[in-house]
Amino acid sequence: MNVYAYSRDKFTDYIMSYGVDPTQYYISIISSGGPKGIPVINGQHDNVLTIAFDDVLESGKQWGNDIKAFYPAVAITEEQAQKLHDFIEAIPLNSNVHVHCVYGQSRTGAVAKYLQEYRDATVHNITLEKYNDRVFRLLKHTARPR
């Protein structure tokens, strides 16, 4: 399995250039509100998961001055982690997986790290030094022993 990490802008460019390939998989992590909460991929696709949560460890955490006027921050829930985990588990091992969040670092990094550790994925386009610990912990919690 190969995992490719993107920022929202680079992922949007990728989709605009190549479209949604039915032989590849896409995890689109959008914000829970504001302009970055608009889905990148429209329509229903079995190989696409769009999920909305913010890059915070707990809901309601204060945003910076430029964002908090839009909406309160929403952390990933256990139900969302289970949905994300179930989508990941259904991906065949020889697949390409494209993952993005707004900056392509923290939430994307958590998903990429999980794929690397639990699905033996090779990760491209990102270092896994910083990632959203809540996302990673919840994904690990939902994992079934192999």
CATH code, domain with 59 = 3.90.190
Q: In this structure, are residues 127 and 112 in contact, taking their beta carbons and an 8 Å threshold? A: no
Which one, of 71, 75, 79, 95, lies nearest residue 2 by Cα?
A: 95
Q: Compute mean pLDDT per 10 residues along the chain, 146 residues long, and list them.
A: 97 97 98 91 96 90 59 90 96 97 96 96 93 96 71
Please count the other Cβ atoms lying within 10 Å of the Cβ belonging to residue 66: 7
Range of the domain at 36: 2-142
Q: In this structure, are residues 98 and 24 in contact, taking their beta carbons and an 8 Å threshold? A: yes
In the chain, how many domains are there? Answer: 1
Q: Provide the whole-model pTM.
A: 0.92
pLDDT reported for residue 67:
58
